Structures are given as structure tokens and as C-alpha cells.
Chains A and B, each alone.
Chain A
Amino acid sequence: MSQQTHPPRWAAALLQWLVDDALHTPRGDFEEYFHEIAREGGVPRARWWYRAQVVRMVPGRLVAKLIWNLLMLKNHLLLAYRNLRKNKVAAAINVFGLSFAIGCTLVAYLYVQSMINNEASHENGDTIFLVQQQVREQGEQKEVGYTPIPMGPTLAAEFPQVVGAVRLKNGGGTVVQDGNEFHESIRFVDPGFLQMFTFPLQYGDPEQALTQPNTVVLSEGAAAKYFGEENPLGQTLLLKLAEAEAVPFTVTGVAAAYNPRTSLWFSVLLPFEHRPSPSDTDWSETTTATFIQVSSPRSLADVSTQMAPYVQLQNEAAGEEAPVVEQFTFGNLYELARHSDEVESTIAGHIPWAPVITLSVMALFLLVLSCVNYMNIALAAATRRLKEIGIRKVVGSNRGQLVVQFLTENVVLCVFALGVGFGVAYLFLVPAFTDIAGGAVNLWDTPLVALAVFLGCLLVGVGLFSGAYPALYISSFQPISILSNTQKLGRRNVFMQSLLTVQFVLAFITMIVCLGLVFNAQDEQSRDWGYNQAHTLVMQLPNPAMYDVMRNEVAQLPNITAVSGAQEHIGRSHTWIEPVIAGESMWARTFGVDAAYLETLGLRLKEGRFFDAEQVSIAADEVVINETFAQRQGWTEPLGQTLRIDSTTYAVIGVMEDFHYDGFTDDIAPVVFQLADVASHTFLALRVEAGAGTQTAEAVAAIGARLMPDETDWYFFQDTVFDGYFQETQGITDIFLFIAVLALLISCMGLFGLASQNTASRLKEVSIRKVLGATVAHVAALMNRRYALLLLLAAVLATPLSYLLLNALLDSIYVYRMGIGAGPFLLAYLLVFLTGLLTISTQLRFLALANPADLLRNE
């Protein structure tokens, strides 16, 4: 019974919330009256009465509460404004730190968004799915991104839910223009491609563009390359596909600029029927990708549950040898990149996780750092406000009100910092970052709702994280101990000391990691490329005919020690081949060169020999490989081993030391050097005597100006081939340097704030010490010993943590990286200690100049 004789719980709770008077009468009366009604009319009636009574009170009490809260808010805002104005230095330090941290976080957010949502520009993405196959090969289950050729049309015909299907096949071809040949990547697509995916056309009609055979759609870049600025619609492009003969294609569309991060990027689009192996019904034939568009995201389930017949069809057609398809799966377009690591041979682009993670982590560190900094300064500044807090408590404000007051001050500051941070990001950080990242991606092209939610969360998160502890701590003091001057704040507070330590640990880690990345970039500049890149002038000629002419011309030049021709050239171009060794195929890069290439480029032979210039005809079935190739094959005696490329068998006659052809971020692939026919040479490399480089370049330029006046940028020094890579690295280095400097600034400003608050609160002590004969140095040492110890502790803690983080980062970004030395660590310590000293020395000046008599007289 007793369970039912109390008033309804929720109504009682509501009443308590509505009527928060300290006098309790209404709540007591309600309860007593409840029991009275229960006695007379029964419990249910009493409960009903109680509920009705409480509910009826709601509107009036709510209005009253609201008015009170607004009045209090106005009061809090006014107080916040006055307090911030009174403490300008602390407020400025906090706003600076927080706003730059927020700005960096915003940039990181925008960058991560643009990297993760690389398909956001496709409007119908939520209904577009890539058909994938789950296959079992030699007992191993995996998912692959390619699909049987008939899959797309079959699905479109059989399922009413499928409103469109587009197949896509990657291929290549050669554009023939004015006697020159340009290799182009080509995507063969079904006519619905331009409707399913959002690629606005600059010229042409997306519905008609690819419906007829022998039509072509170009990207903006390809159109500019072949037709200049004019509108190329209706013009003809000569293309060599599988056939030897060039076929004319009519330009029916030119795409406007699009987000280059989409996995559906293209430079040349051709109708699907022009693909190399045109069979439309063979289930054992596959195509690069098949996309279907369904009527609504939910109707996909209707399709995916009825795929069993096609699994059977596919497995029967493919025969015994092929991997067994277990089922077909569907990947949403928007999600593709996020899962591209799990799917083999998928068209989906990869998310560059290394920079995404690094940047996010660094931005988070900076944010936490500035929040901790805020906490430290807020706590230290509270020493000046102890009296205020004591008096407030004495005249009746309760702890909750004080907490609300301090939090309001904090939120005002955070809103301000958010505003400044947004401004900094908009005006300075985002443009700078976009510039560094290559400028192709517009970071502001992001869903605005998500951005607003992110900023809101950032505000609440930063506000609570930085403000909650100071507000709770400061409001907890007893007025009696404050007003009788016995409250000691912070001097022995372990938490405050730990906060300062944490702040400097974060600052050290941020700086060491950033400096480490900078050191690595420096290290790359001086790293051995595996060959002698100096004193080598390389010409990239428009065609083999010009190569012949040029070779004869340069033979007349003085100061040249070696001349070599090549079809592919290290650092500029290469071709992938699929050599077969003992029945197993592998992928390798190939460079077609002549016999003098080894000597001209200064490549290093590990064993065996390079091609013999005297015996060119015999050498045609010989190859030279790199160390990686030999290791990949497990060859301990690589010389004399054989491999088959297309139908020819080659013998390995030499092994080269590994060399870098693309920068240091990726593994060195297996490399095969083959002798290339002189008729295909377009690269001409000259080894020049030291000191004769400029002179030779001028002579070569003069020859070029005479023979081919229209060509530009056709010769370069070999040691400039990594310039693009280094430029990119330099950009990343700049970002990290900026973050490191910011971390240093925020922490040292925090230190300055703390030290000056500390001095201010100990002025009397210092003055008495000076009167009694203490020297400035002595006093300074006394005041700052604590900070020095904390800095030292922070350095000790940060060292192993930074080492681990830096190591992990370098590993995840670079395959070829520096070993971590003492450099970044020492530099970070030195910078922090020097700026720390500098910060503290501003106090020394004050201590030295202040007259103790003035400071002591104020009471």
C-alpha cells in the first residue's frame, strides 16, 4: 500500500523544479493535502488531484522562472564584461590562444571533411551503389570492385527499383594531333554516366553527349590541351585505341571543372562500345566498375536480396579455374573511399589517412593545450577575485550561482574566441592551407549544417572543458577562510601543478613532432637518390625524329662526358609491365634505355653487367633488374635467371642498387631495364663536366630555339626532378612549423600569465625580502624555481611520448625516412627554455625596479 500513498513521482519532481522556494510550504501543503484527499476520497483521486494541480501551475511558474533567468543572465553578462575588461592581459592571452587553436581545428575539420567526402559533389550519391563481388580464392575470402560485363544491363532490365546502371572500363589510347602522339587515360562508359554522376558540362548536352558511337567527352584540362580556349564542340579528335589506325571521334561535350578528388575523374570519356574487348553477354568478362542507381536508398534491399541467380550464372560462366563468387554486395558512393582499403581492385579513391590523422591529432593537441592554458590562467586570476567570491557568498549567493557566473564569463570569452578563430581561419589559415595543399580543393565547399553543428560542439566542448574546473574550484571556497585571509590558492594545489605540467607536455610533444617532421624533410633534401643526379642535363623531346636531330647537334658540344637516350626516364616517366616468372606474373616498372644510360645517370651496379654497347643486337633479350626485384623473387643468384615479357624470354644480366624515382613516401617497386629501340627514344640525357652546366644549358637552349621554337620547358637538370615532391613536402613542413610556433607561443603566454599573477599575489613577501637584503636574482630564483622544475618534469615526460608518436607518424607517412636523432628534441627544449626565460625576465625587470616602500605602503 505504502507504494501508492505517495504523490506521483514525476509530478512531485516537477513541483520541486517549479517551486524552488526555500520555505517549503507549498510542497509540504501539497503533500499533506494529498494525504487528506487520499483518506477521504481514495488514493487514485488524490493522485489525480495532485497531478492536475501541478500541471495547472506550469505556465505561470515557467514565465516567472524565465524572467528571473533573463535578469540573472543580464547581470552575469555585465559582470563578465567588467571582469574581462579588468583583466585585459589574461583575457588577451586566452583569446589569442583559444582563437588560433580554434582556427587550426576548423582548418583540420574542413580538410578532413573534404578528404573523407570526396564524392559529395554527386547529388544523387545516396541512391548510387557500386556493385562488388565477394569471392573466395584459394580459401581466402575477399571483396573485389570489378563486375561481370552483363551485370549492369541485366539489373536495369530485371529490377524496377533500378532506375539506371552505368558500366565503366579503364583503358588507354593515343591522341594523334599534328603528327604528335599523346598518351591518354580513357574511361569507356555507358551513356547514362553524365546523368547518374554530377559532372556539369561546360559545353554540350549531358543527355545526348555519349549516345552515338565515335563521340568523345573531354575534361576541361584535356579540351584546353587539344583545342585551346575555343569551344571544341563538333571538332574531331584522332584517337588510336587497340587498332593501329587512328579513328576520328567527334567532341560532344566538355566538362566544367569538378572536384579532382572524385574517384570518377576523367580526362577522356568514350562510349562503352569502344572498349577493347566488346562482348556484352559473356559473364566471365569483367569491367572495372558497375554502378546502379535505385529509386530510393531503401529499395536497395529489394535488389540485394535477389542476387542469388546471378551468383550462379557468374560462377557457371567463369568455369572451374576462376575464384568462386559467393555473393554480390553494394557499396554506397558516399562511403566508397572510406572502405576502399577492404575492397580489392576498386575504382574508389583512397583517403590519405596519414595527413588526415596527423593534422587532426595536432589540431586536437593545440585545442587541449589552449584549454589547459585557459584553466591555468583562470585559476591564477582567481586569486585577485577571492574577496569578491567571499562577499558574494556572505550576502547569500549559493555555489550554483557562482558557477553559473564563472561559466558565463567563460562562454563569453569562448564565443569571442570562436568569432576571432573563424575570422583567422577565413582570412588567413584556410587560404594559406589551400595554397600549400595544391589549391585544387575548395575547403569551404562543405555541408553548412554539419559545419554549424561542429562549431556548436566546439563552443560547448571548449567552454565546458576549459571552464568547468575553475568554476567549480573557485566557487568551493569557504567565505570565512577567504575573508580572514587564510585561504591559500594554488600554491600547494597538486591539480594546478599537474595542469601546468600537462600543458607543457602537450607543448613539448607538439613541438617535437612538428620539428621531427621538419627535420625529416630537411634530411630528404640531402638524401642519396641511389644515383648521381648532379651535372646531368636531360632533354624531353616531342618525338623520336627530333631526338635524332638533337643527338647529332649536342654531339658537337664541349664538356660532355656521356650521352644517353631513353624511352622512359627516371623521375619523369615509366611504364608498368607484367613479367611472368615460372608461370607466376608480377608487376614491375620498366625503363627502356640505351647502353650508356648506366654511366650517364651514375646508376650503381650491384652485380653482373649493364648492356653492352657493342652488342646491341644480342642484348635485345637481356634485362637488368633492381635489388627489390631480386628480393621480391627470392633470388640469391639473380644473374642468369629468366623472365618472360609478352612473348619474349629475357635473361637477367645485371642487378642495380635500388634508386628513388618518385620521392620517399612509397615503396620502391621492382624495376626492369630493357634496351629500347632508338626509334622510340624521346629522352636525351647529357652528363656534363662539373662547372659547365649553365654553359651547356645555354648552348642546348640555343639549339632548341632554332630547331623547335614552339616548345617550352623541354630540358631540365636531373637534380630538379624531385622539385615537385620537395615543394609538396615544404608545404607540409610549413604547416607543422606553424603549429609548433603556435604551441610555443600559447604555452609561453600561459607561463607569462601565471608568473605575473604569481608575482602580483606575492608582492608583499617580495618587498619584505628586498628590505631585508635579498638580491633580485635571489628573489627571482625563489619565485620561479617551481616553474623551472615543472618545465623539467614536462620535458622528461614528453620525451618518450614524442619519440613514440613521431616514430609512428614517420612510419605511416614515409617508407624511406630518417632515423630519429636528438635534433628535434634538443631544439624543442632549447626553444621552450629560452622563451620561458625571456618570459620570466620581464618580471625580473619589475622586481628590480620596484621600490619596496611603495608596495608595502598600500595598507
Chain B
Amino acid sequence: MRMKLLSRPEEFVLLAVWRLQERAYSLPIRKQLTESTGYAWSLGSVYTPLERLEKKGLLTSWFTEATAARGGRPKRIYKLTPKGRQALLHTRRVEEAMWLGITGLALEG
């Protein structure tokens, strides 16, 4: 058996990209992740999953024009591919199936 599930960082990064839409490049992604998860994400910890997801074909990217705020360098904007959306939805379905009918977890502890 071989699961085609996303890892948690991958899942979160994909979700952040989807949420940010055309503003989805490294810095806002990092900010979004930090705010949503409550953990401090470093820039490096964003680059790695972004790169890996693009290699898997779940993300595509393109460059915008250069901006002064970036010292004359362009932004790299990410977008989910159809395959990426499928993977995200698939992961969510599996997750929900796993959680289905589970109660009282919070009460016992």
C-alpha cells in the first residue's frame, strides 16, 4: 500500500497558496502560515516545500516585474495546478473520513 497523501507542511503551504491567490509568493505565504498555525515559520522552511511541490507538479510559478522594495528583483508567484487541487481535496476527504464519528476525544485526556 502506498498512500498519495500530502505531508502536513505541504498541505498547509498549498492551502496558504490557494487562500492568497495572486498574492501568493514566499513572504505572504510565510506570514499566512505563521498566523494560522501559531508557529514561527522561517523563510527557509517555506522554500523547501514550495520547491518540492513545484517539482511534483502540484504548483506552478511565474515571475512578476521587478519592484523597488525587493531591491530591483521580481517576485515569484505560485498557483495551484489542477493536480494540486486534486491532491488537496483528496487529503481533505481522507482526513474527514478518519475523523468521522470520533467523539469524546477532548473530554477524556
What would 7 A/B residue contacts be, using CB atoms closer than 8 Å?
A25-B25, A25-B47, A25-B73, A25-B75, A28-B73, A29-B70, A31-B73
With a cutoff of 8 Å between Cβ atoms, the chain A residues found around residue B56 in the complex are none
Known A23-B76, A25-B26, A25-B76; contact A31-B70, beta-carbon cutoff 8 A: yes
Q: Choose among A6, A29, A35 the residue that contacts B26 (Cβ–Cβ < 8 A).
A: A29
Contact with A along B58-98 (1 / 0, CB 8 A): 00000000010111011110000000000000000000000
Known A25-B26, A26-B43, A29-B43; contact A35-B74, beta-carbon cutoff 8 A: no
Asked if B40 is at the interface of the complex by the 8 Å CB criterion, the answer is no
Asked if B27 is at the interface of the complex by the 8 Å CB criterion, the answer is yes
With a cutoff of 8 Å between Cβ atoms, the chain B residues found around residue A36 in the complex are 27
With a cutoff of 8 Å between Cβ atoms, the chain A residues found around residue B74 in the complex are 24, 28
- Chain A residue at minimum C-beta to C-beta distance from B70: A28
Q: Choose among A23, A25, A28, A53 the residue that contacts B71 (Cβ–Cβ < 8 A).
A: A28
Asked if A387 is at the interface of the complex by the 8 Å CB criterion, the answer is no
How many angstroms between the C-alpha atoms of A531 and B27 in the bound complex? 101
Contact with B along A8-30 (1 / 0, CB 8 A): 00000000000000011111111
* Residue pair B27, A27 in contact (C-beta under 8 Å): no
* Residue pair B43, A33 in contact (C-beta under 8 Å): yes
A sample of 6 more A-B contacts (CB under 8 A), given A25-B76, A27-B71, is A26-B43, A26-B47, A27-B73, A32-B67, A33-B43, A36-B27
- Contacts from A to B (Cβ < 8 Å): 6, 23-33, 35-36, 53
* Residue pair B73, A33 in contact (C-beta under 8 Å): no
* Residue pair B71, A31 in contact (C-beta under 8 Å): yes
How many angstroms between the C-alpha atoms of A31 and B73 in the bound complex? 9
* Residue pair A32, B27 in contact (C-beta under 8 Å): yes
How many angstroms between the C-alpha atoms of A36 and B73 in the bound complex? 16
Q: Which size bracket describes the interface of B in this complex?
A: 10 to 19
How many angstroms between the C-alpha atoms of A471 and B26 in the bound complex? 40
With a cutoff of 8 Å between Cβ atoms, the chain B residues found around residue A24 in the complex are 73-74
How many angstroms between the C-alpha atoms of A359 and B74 in the bound complex? 61
How many angstroms between the C-alpha atoms of A30 and B27 in the bound complex? 9
Q: Choose among A25, A26, A31 the residue that contacts B69 (Cβ–Cβ < 8 A).
A: A31
- Chain B, 18-44, CB within 8 A of any chain A CB: 25-27, 43
- Chain A residue at minimum C-beta to C-beta distance from B31: A36
Q: In the assembled complex, how far is the CB of residue B75 from the closest CB belonging to chain A, in whole angstroms?
A: 7
With a cutoff of 8 Å between Cβ atoms, the chain A residues found around residue B47 in the complex are 25-26
Q: In the assembled complex, how far is the CB of residue B49 from the closest CB belonging to chain A, in whole angstroms?
A: 14
How many angstroms between the C-alpha atoms of A35 and B68 in the bound complex? 11
Known A23-B76, A25-B26, A25-B76; contact A32-B70, beta-carbon cutoff 8 A: yes
With a cutoff of 8 Å between Cβ atoms, the chain B residues found around residue A33 in the complex are 27, 43
With a cutoff of 8 Å between Cβ atoms, the chain B residues found around residue A6 in the complex are 71
* Residue pair A35, B69 in contact (C-beta under 8 Å): yes
With a cutoff of 8 Å between Cβ atoms, the chain B residues found around residue A35 in the complex are 69
Shortest 9 CB-CB contacts between residues of A and residues of B: A28-B73, A28-B70, A31-B71, A24-B73, A25-B76, A32-B70, A29-B26, A31-B70, A32-B69
Q: In the assembled complex, how far is the CB of residue A579 from the closest CB belonging to chain B, in whole angstroms?
A: 89
Q: Which of A25, A26, A33 has the most CB of B within 10 A?
A: A25
With a cutoff of 8 Å between Cβ atoms, the chain A residues found around residue B71 in the complex are 6, 27-28, 31
How many angstroms between the C-alpha atoms of A800 and B88 in the bound complex? 85
How many angstroms between the C-alpha atoms of A32 and B25 in the bound complex? 12
- Contacts from B to A (Cβ < 8 Å): 25-27, 43, 47, 67, 69-71, 73-76
Q: In the assembled complex, how far is the CB of residue A19 from the closest CB belonging to chain B, in whole angstroms?
A: 11
With a cutoff of 8 Å between Cβ atoms, the chain B residues found around residue A29 in the complex are 25-27, 43, 70
Q: In the assembled complex, how far is the CB of residue B43 from the closest CB belonging to chain A, in whole angstroms?
A: 6
Q: Which of B27, B69, B70 has the most CB of A within 10 A?
A: B70
- Chain A residue at minimum C-beta to C-beta distance from B43: A29
How many angstroms between the C-alpha atoms of A30 and B46 in the bound complex? 13
With a cutoff of 8 Å between Cβ atoms, the chain A residues found around residue B25 in the complex are 25, 29
How many angstroms between the C-alpha atoms of A26 and B46 in the bound complex? 11
How many angstroms between the C-alpha atoms of A379 and B109 in the bound complex? 80
How many angstroms between the C-alpha atoms of A694 and B88 in the bound complex? 117
With a cutoff of 8 Å between Cβ atoms, the chain A residues found around residue B67 in the complex are 32
* Residue pair B75, A28 in contact (C-beta under 8 Å): yes
How many angstroms between the C-alpha atoms of A32 and B75 in the bound complex? 10
With a cutoff of 8 Å between Cβ atoms, the chain B residues found around residue A23 in the complex are 76
- Chain B residue at minimum C-beta to C-beta distance from A57: B44
With a cutoff of 8 Å between Cβ atoms, the chain A residues found around residue B70 in the complex are 28-29, 31-32
With a cutoff of 8 Å between Cβ atoms, the chain A residues found around residue B26 in the complex are 25, 29
Q: In the assembled complex, how far is the CB of residue A374 from the closest CB belonging to chain B, in whole angstroms?
A: 43
Q: Which of B27, B47, B74 has the most CB of A within 10 A?
A: B27
With a cutoff of 8 Å between Cβ atoms, the chain A residues found around residue B73 in the complex are 24-25, 27-28, 31
- Chain A residue at minimum C-beta to C-beta distance from B26: A29
How many angstroms between the C-alpha atoms of A23 and B70 in the bound complex? 13
How many angstroms between the C-alpha atoms of A35 and B69 in the bound complex? 7
Q: In the assembled complex, how far is the CB of residue B27 from the closest CB belonging to chain A, in whole angstroms?
A: 6
Q: In the assembled complex, how far is the CB of residue B23 from the closest CB belonging to chain A, in whole angstroms?
A: 13
- Chain B residue at minimum C-beta to C-beta distance from A35: B69
- Chain A residue at minimum C-beta to C-beta distance from B42: A53
How many angstroms between the C-alpha atoms of A653 and B25 in the bound complex? 112
How many angstroms between the C-alpha atoms of A31 and B70 in the bound complex? 5
Q: Which of A28, A30, A36, A53 has the most CB of B within 10 A?
A: A28
How many angstroms between the C-alpha atoms of A646 and B36 in the bound complex? 115
Q: In the assembled complex, how far is the CB of residue B13 from the closest CB belonging to chain A, in whole angstroms?
A: 15
With a cutoff of 8 Å between Cβ atoms, the chain B residues found around residue A31 in the complex are 69-71, 73
How many angstroms between the C-alpha atoms of A33 and B73 in the bound complex? 13
Q: In the assembled complex, how far is the CB of residue A4 from the closest CB belonging to chain B, in whole angstroms?
A: 15
Q: In the assembled complex, how far is the CB of residue A197 from the closest CB belonging to chain B, in whole angstroms?
A: 67
How many angstroms between the C-alpha atoms of A193 and B104 in the bound complex? 103
With a cutoff of 8 Å between Cβ atoms, the chain B residues found around residue A30 in the complex are 43
With a cutoff of 8 Å between Cβ atoms, the chain A residues found around residue B27 in the complex are 29, 32-33, 36
With a cutoff of 8 Å between Cβ atoms, the chain B residues found around residue A26 in the complex are 43, 47
With a cutoff of 8 Å between Cβ atoms, the chain B residues found around residue A25 in the complex are 25-26, 47, 73, 75-76
How many angstroms between the C-alpha atoms of A26 and B26 in the bound complex? 9
How many angstroms between the C-alpha atoms of A6 and B72 in the bound complex? 12
How many angstroms between the C-alpha atoms of A26 and B48 in the bound complex? 12
How many angstroms between the C-alpha atoms of A26 and B42 in the bound complex? 12
How many angstroms between the C-alpha atoms of A27 and B70 in the bound complex? 8
- Chain B residue at minimum C-beta to C-beta distance from A30: B43
Q: In the assembled complex, how far is the CB of residue B100 from the closest CB belonging to chain A, in whole angstroms?
A: 40
How many angstroms between the C-alpha atoms of A35 and B67 in the bound complex? 13
Q: In the assembled complex, how far is the CB of residue B73 from the closest CB belonging to chain A, in whole angstroms?
A: 3
How many angstroms between the C-alpha atoms of A32 and B69 in the bound complex? 6
How many angstroms between the C-alpha atoms of A235 and B50 in the bound complex? 96
Q: In the assembled complex, how far is the CB of residue B103 from the closest CB belonging to chain A, in whole angstroms?
A: 43
Q: In the assembled complex, how far is the CB of residue A17 from the closest CB belonging to chain B, in whole angstroms?
A: 16
- Chain B residue at minimum C-beta to C-beta distance from A60: B44
How many angstroms between the C-alpha atoms of A28 and B69 in the bound complex? 8
- Chain A residue at minimum C-beta to C-beta distance from B50: A25
How many angstroms between the C-alpha atoms of A24 and B27 in the bound complex? 14
Q: In the assembled complex, how far is the CB of residue B79 from the closest CB belonging to chain A, in whole angstroms?
A: 15
Q: In the assembled complex, how far is the CB of residue A853 from the closest CB belonging to chain B, in whole angstroms?
A: 56
How many angstroms between the C-alpha atoms of A819 and B71 in the bound complex? 73
With a cutoff of 8 Å between Cβ atoms, the chain A residues found around residue B76 in the complex are 23, 25
Q: In the assembled complex, how far is the CB of residue A701 from the closest CB belonging to chain B, in whole angstroms?
A: 99
Q: In the assembled complex, how far is the CB of residue A46 from the closest CB belonging to chain B, in whole angstroms?
A: 13
How many angstroms between the C-alpha atoms of A27 and B27 in the bound complex? 12
Q: In the assembled complex, how far is the CB of residue B5 from the closest CB belonging to chain A, in whole angstroms?
A: 28
Q: Which of B26, B27, B71, B75 has the most CB of A within 10 A?
A: B71
- Chain B residue at minimum C-beta to C-beta distance from A31: B71
How many angstroms between the C-alpha atoms of A167 and B25 in the bound complex? 86
Q: In the assembled complex, how far is the CB of residue B70 from the closest CB belonging to chain A, in whole angstroms?
A: 4
How many angstroms between the C-alpha atoms of A32 and B67 in the bound complex? 9
How many angstroms between the C-alpha atoms of A334 and B70 in the bound complex? 61
Q: Which of A6, A29, A53 has the most CB of B within 10 A?
A: A29
How many angstroms between the C-alpha atoms of A72 and B76 in the bound complex? 29
- Chain B residue at minimum C-beta to C-beta distance from A53: B43
Q: In the assembled complex, how far is the CB of residue B51 from the closest CB belonging to chain A, in whole angstroms?
A: 10
How many angstroms between the C-alpha atoms of A23 and B67 in the bound complex? 14
How many angstroms between the C-alpha atoms of A332 and B29 in the bound complex? 72
Q: In the assembled complex, how far is the CB of residue A661 from the closest CB belonging to chain B, in whole angstroms?
A: 83
- Chain A residue at minimum C-beta to C-beta distance from B47: A26
